[in-house]
Each structure stands twice: as structure tokens, then as C-alpha cells.
Structure 1
């Protein structure tokens, strides 16, 4: 007894090439594809508009790092005391930040910095280099 093989009756089960199948899928799903593309374009527009409102896109053309408007505080030591200047900043960090020393640490002092009594300490140590803070 032999079995007969049935011929495929519908077009989905027919043997077709990959390009033909892709073309068929695109034709059947054209509305979905167009809808997804339109949604992606609308989302991209909304994100760019939001970025422009937050001033994130300014400076991109110049190639400089840019981010949200924030403050940059710069500390420096003047006459043994910390002074601070605050500037507006748009760096990629995007949030307030502090630069420079946050306390008067004599190891951070610029070369040549001296404090009151440095000469007396040096002389009382027998002019030892380890105690020369002038």
C-alpha cells in the first residue's frame, strides 16, 4: 500500500524564495510599517523639542561638550584663605560642581607660600630643611 502526498493548496505553504516572502510580508503589513515609522518620527521630534527647551542642544555645532545649565564653583587660596568664584557652566557633567581645594591644606599651597611664624620655626629647628615652611 502506498501513500499519496498531498499538494499544497494555499500560497503560504508553497515554496517561495526569501525575497518573495519579504515582499509579500511588506505588502500585507504596509499600514503597520507606515504607522510605526510615523510614530518613530513623532517621538524623535518630541525628544528634540524637549532637548531644545532644556538648552541641551546649544553648542553642539561647535563640538564643545554641552549639558544642562548649572553652576561651577572654583575655589582658590588667596593670602591663606579660601575664596570662591561661581560661573555658569554647560559641561557634559550637567550638574553643579566644585573645583579646587575645599580646605586650606598646606600641602596644596602654591610654591612660595609662607605663613606667619615660618621663619621662627626654621631658625628654631637649626635651619633644618624638613622644617623650612618659608
Structure 2
């Protein structure tokens, strides 16, 4: 039998828990692996990213024409980061989770992004037993 495609509804989701202080209930949510996010959502996020790059480029050009320097701390002149794109993606996938993520620190968001990426990576191909047996036979 040839390739059987794993559909997005068949792929194991990525589970994330955000602990809450005090007696508040932890925020728990699941996200699809990055490669299994639907085209309509990725298209919306791509459109947002493109629009944001266009706005920032225009703002920076305008400021440059006026002789102004745009510091990195200026939110109008800051290009979207991978974490900004992650927040947009989560916003389309799970708005309640996005609200919780938006309140996190930079490092906490970075941890989620790295985990989501690592859990989304394809599994390493299994080695066949024949190839390992042949190397043992020559020793």
C-alpha cells in the first residue's frame, strides 16, 4: 500500500498549560501541529503579517523623510516578530487561549513558541532492522 496521508484531525495535538496564580484554574488548551493548521487560518495570518510589514515600512519611510530616527521601542516602527505571528495564529485557533497568552512575558511566549515548534517537528524516520543487522555482521 502506498502513502496514507495523515489528516489534520488525525494528528496528535500539542497540549499547553499556563499555570495561574492563587486559586485560579490553569489555562489548558490544545493547538494543532504547525503543519496542520488550515489554509484559511494561515492565509489570514499571512495577510495580517504582510499588512503589518507594509504599515511599518511606510511609517519608517515617512519618519526617515522627516529626518526622524525610529527607535526599536517605537511600536509603530516595529516589524512583527515570530511571537507576534504566533499570537495571531493562536487568536484564530482559540481566542480564549490567545487572551491568556497575550498576558504572558516575552520568555513565557518564547517557551510556548519553542515547544509548539518542537512538538510539530516530523518524527525521525525509523531505521530498518536490516540495515543495523548488516553492520553488526561485519564486526
Q: Which is strand-richer, 1 or 2?
A: 1
TM-score past 0.5 threshold: no
TM range (shorter): under 0.3
TM-score after normalising by structure 2: 0.27
When normalised by structure 1's length, the TM-score is 0.28
Does 1 or 2 have the higher relative contact order (CA < 8 Å, sep 6+)? 2
Higher-Rg member (1/2): 1
Instruction: Tell me which protein shows more helix as a share of its residues.
Output: 2
